[in-house]
Amino acid sequence: MTNSKQTQLLTFLCCFLILLPSLVRGDCTCEPEDEDRNKSLALKYKMAALVSILVAGAIGVCFPLLGKTIKALSPEKNVFFLIKAFAAGVILSTGFIHVLPDATENLTSPCLNENPWGKFPFAGLVAMSSAIATLMVDMFATSHYTKSHFNKTQQSDVGDEEKTGEHENHVHVHTHATHGHAHGSVSMLERSVSSELLRHRVVSQVLELGIVVHSVIIGISLGASESPKTIRPLVAALTFHQFFEGMGLGGCISQAKFKSRAVAIMAIFFSLTTPVGIAIGIGISNIYDENSPTALIVEGIFDSASAGILIYMALVDLLAADFMNPKLQNNGTLQVGASVCLLLGSGLMSLLAIWA
């Protein structure tokens, strides 16, 4: 994806971060939960959460990117497949166990009108729609950038052939067929590699979008809470959550082979989303009411959309792509290892639902 496209995407996400608090501030109150409120103690937990989540996210997203210095972590090694399988399990569990149930709870809350929210499963509808939309974005973006890249390649090939024609006629006739054959073979190989690379780039950016959406929602909810009893278990749970999600995203970024600047921007942006959400939540804690209809609807819709994106990306772009990879298909030991890592990642992330 070009730098201008990346800039536009980041601008959209920044606008989302700025406008979201105004959408979810409280406008009326449903039945408040009976919970212990201690603003000063809660603030200490929030600051601890901000720092721990920031550090965990940064370590998680950077870990797979160390393949350039640690050869065992390079995308060509077996260990990389195991890490990605584990991280994909985490992302899949995040969508099914953490995000989608929260969205369903918000959109079926008794604080909302029975008609229409209580009469139709809007969470499932939005999740399904976002999964289909992600498929379409995936398809059109990959097609567009592949065609664009191949057009440039063809123009380059024409230029190479024109330069070849500048040789003496006898030499040109003798060598052109051989040259053409070799060039065609190299060109086909380059096209295959370039197409796969473009695919990884689209996948990494769509995945980051899905992660960012629910990370901001989580951060705002945590930052706006004034109950130490609620915040305390979330600190550890969300720290692990952010670390494992970072590993999955970092693996995709590593395979996409972006330039160093783009890699740094994506890694920093991921690391900051939840801490920024916490900071926003702290800032609006006096006006934020998580039980207001507006907050419930906005959070429910965004969580549903995020769940659809994460589930689609985990199943289609991460698991299906890797588990059908010839390298894994031809290695029984690697198949078993990847399957175990997938079950371990999804199981551990599901277990965290007890606390968050």
> Tell me, what's the pLDDT at 75?
76
Asked if residue 212 is part of any domain, the answer here is yes
Domain residues for the domain of 70 are 38-149+193-354
Asked if residue 25 is part of any domain, the answer here is no
The total domain count for the chain is 1
Taking CA 210 as the corner, what is the angle to CA 206 and CA 214, rounded to the nearest 5 degrees? 165
How far is the C-alpha of 289 from the C-alpha of 31, rounded, in Å? 11
Asked if residue 251 is part of any domain, the answer here is yes
> Tell me, what's the pLDDT at 11?
56
Among left, alpha and beta (phi > 0; psi -120 to 50; other), residue 28 is beta
> Tell me, what's the pLDDT at 205?
86
Asked if residue 83 is part of any domain, the answer here is yes
- pTM of the shown model: 0.75
> Tell me, what's the pLDDT at 20?
53
Which residues have a Cβ under 8 Å from the Cβ of 97 and sit 6 or more positions away? 349, 350, 353
Asked if residue 32 is part of any domain, the answer here is no
CA-nearest of 67, 157, 123 to 303 is 123
Asked if residue 155 is part of any domain, the answer here is no
> Tell me, what's the pLDDT at 338?
94
Low-confidence ranges of the chain (pLDDT < 70): 1-36, 67-68, 72, 149-193, 356
Specify whether the CB–CB gap between 67 and 254 falls below 8 A. yes
Asked if residue 158 is part of any domain, the answer here is no
Residue 6, CA distances (Å) to 121, 266, 312 in order: 34, 9, 22
> Tell me, what's the pLDDT at 4?
56
> Tell me, what's the pLDDT at 152?
65
Q: 330 by DSSP, 3-state: which?
A: coil
> Tell me, what's the pLDDT at 341?
94
Asked if residue 101 is part of any domain, the answer here is yes
